[in-house]
Amino acid sequence: MKKLSVVIPCYNEEKTLADVIKKVTAASTAGLDMEIVIVDDCSSDNSLNIANKLATTNDRIQVFSHDINRGKGAALRTAFAAATGDLIIVQDADLEYDPNDYEKLLKPILAGDADVVYGSRFLDKSATEAHYLIHGLANRFLTGLSNLLTGLKLTDMETCYKLIPKHLLDQVTITENRFGIEPEITAKLSHLTPKPRFLEVPVSYDNRSYEEGKKIGWKDGISAIRCIFKFNLIR
């Protein structure tokens, strides 16, 4: 393991993108080299210009863009295809997740104790206070339903922080365009042969409101249920 790819799907995040990149580039990666892959999903604000400007001053940053808005899953497909690291981690372009947790996520894989590591917002009891009640309950329900069909024992299937070796990602085909990518990728990884060893570590989380730009909604929750059944039962 020599390189970590940080993949960042971005849609209308002009207020936070530069700060996120600053934190990502400053984060410890347990000795791994880092590349950053930003995919702008046809933002209507200044996000793409900001991303391109950041790339001109940092040769570790690559920027890709979509001509139409297609969703987080579609942006991640583009990012995964472009990533060249041995390990890939998803980083949202807002400030809900803290890149200072990267080293904590990396250590179990680098030590040979896990194949896939998820950052759980629920393992640290104090972190649950950052959730809106309805979102916390929805996440727990979706995670429990996913666990029933994958055989995993996760506490936070919907987490952004999924650290996955590229050779495992290359074995699955992502089809969901929106937030359904979370249950889809969990299901497809869990059904690989041999089954990867999943591990969770606690991560910090600063939940933002819809007024601040949060995008996931109740329709995405319904879609997640569909994806859990679809990608676990139809293979």
The tens digit of pLDDT for each residue in 195-215 reads: 999 999 999 988 754 455 455
What is the model's pLDDT at position 136?
Answer: 73
Residues 6+ apart with CB under 8 A from 174: 73, 76, 77, 80, 181, 184, 185, 188
Average pLDDT of the residues in 18-35: 98
What is the model's pLDDT at position 137?
Answer: 81
3-state secondary structure of 39: strand
Average pLDDT of the residues in 155-168: 97
Average pLDDT of the residues in 151-175: 97
- Residue 30 Cα to chain centre, angstroms: 19
The domain 3-233: what is its CATH number?
Answer: 3.90.550.10
Residues 6+ apart with CB under 8 A from 21: 8, 36, 38, 54, 58, 61
Q: Tokens 């950053």 label which residue?
A: 36
Cα separation of 81 and 173, whole Å? 11
Q: At what angle do helices 218-233 and 181-190 cross, to 10 degrees?
A: 20
Please give the DSSP secondary-structure letter assigned to residue 164: E
CB atoms within 10 A of CB 33: 12
State percent of the chain over pLDDT 70. Answer: 90
What is the model's pLDDT at position 210?
Answer: 46
Q: Is the pLDDT of residue 97 over 80?
A: yes
The pTM (predicted TM-score) of the whole model is: 0.92
Confidence at 233, pLDDT banded by 50, 70, 90: very high
CB-CB contact of 183 with 142 (8 Å)? yes
Dihedral sign (CA 169, 172, 176, 182): negative
